[in-house]
Chain A
Amino acid sequence: GQSLEQPSEVTAVEGAIVQINCTYQTSGFYGLSWYQQHDGGAPTFLSYNALDGLEETGRFSSFLSRSDSYGYLLLQELQMKDSASYFCAVRDGGSASKIIFGSGTRLSIRP
């Protein structure tokens, strides 16, 4: 089967850097994606890694190591508005259109 593991909660200070990890287990692999969800809202796409290495988009970066079945989302210069839940997601190798999500990491930011 497929599964994704990520920490349930992370707390950080405004202006700091935080890393949210994700390990996955799938029968095949098409890439790792990250989504942000604010309370009461719908998830929004942040980034996608198909190959090993770091992808940078402004204050957010995402990293992938396929050999370790591991990725992380790095948030820099944290702002209060970054308080949200963050989900990693993968496409199922057996059925390429099936996309499953991790259980989410709730990021709380302190002033």
Chain B
Amino acid sequence: SQTIHQWPATLVQPVGSPLSLECTVEGTSNPNLYWYRQAAGRGLQLLFYSIGIDQISSEVPQNLSASRPQDRQFILSSKKLLLSDSGFYLCAWSMGQNSGANVLTFGAGSRLTVL
């Protein structure tokens, strides 16, 4: 069976510090991978999605970046955090094609507080 791991679960970072969130998927190959951000009580904002290694599309051209160094690994980074980066970050995966591409499975999330 497939599993998705996301870490760290929570972190508190000062403004201007770097960020690295990691996500790995097990039990499948060539998944589509996603990073979403959710502000408190709000919807899910798509940040990045990837259909393969080094194939990443950005939806939010701010101070965040994403990388996919391996097929089942997706990393979200920032060189300098802003207060507005606080939120609940969710990694997700789906099958690469057909009806499975419509079903997202989410990691447990990473709650980031920037002070």
Interface residues of chain A, those whose CB is within 8 Å of chain B, are: 30-31, 33, 35, 41-45, 48, 50, 87, 89, 91, 95-104
Contacts and interface: CB of A to CB of B under 8 A. Distances in A.
Contacts, number: 61
B86 interface: no
A97 B101 CA distance: 7
A96 B101 contact: yes
Interface of B: 32, 34, 36, 42-44, 46, 49, 51, 57, 59, 90, 94, 99, 101-109
A44 B43 contact: no
Given A42-B107, A42-B109, A95-B57, A101 B44 contact: yes
Contacts of B46: 98-101
Given A95-B57, A104-B42, 17 more contacts: A33-B103, A33-B104, A41-B109, A43-B90, A43-B106, A45-B104, A45-B105, A48-B99, A48-B102, A91-B102, A97-B32, A97-B51, A98-B46, A98-B57, A99-B102, A100-B46, A101-B43
B6 to A, nearest CB: 9
Contact of B106 (A42, A50, A98, A102): A42
Report whether over half of chain A's contact residues are helix, strand or loop; otherwise say mixed: strand
A95 to B, nearest CB: 7
A89 B108 CA distance: 19
Nearest to A32: B102
A40 to B, nearest CB: 9
Nearest to A91: B102
A69 to B, nearest CB: 17
B44 A87 contact: yes
A50 B44 CA distance: 22
18 contacts: A33-B103, A35-B104, A41-B108, A42-B106, A42-B108, A43-B90, A45-B103, A45-B104, A45-B105, A50-B99, A97-B32, A97-B57, A98-B46, A98-B57, A99-B104, A100-B46, A101-B43, A103-B42
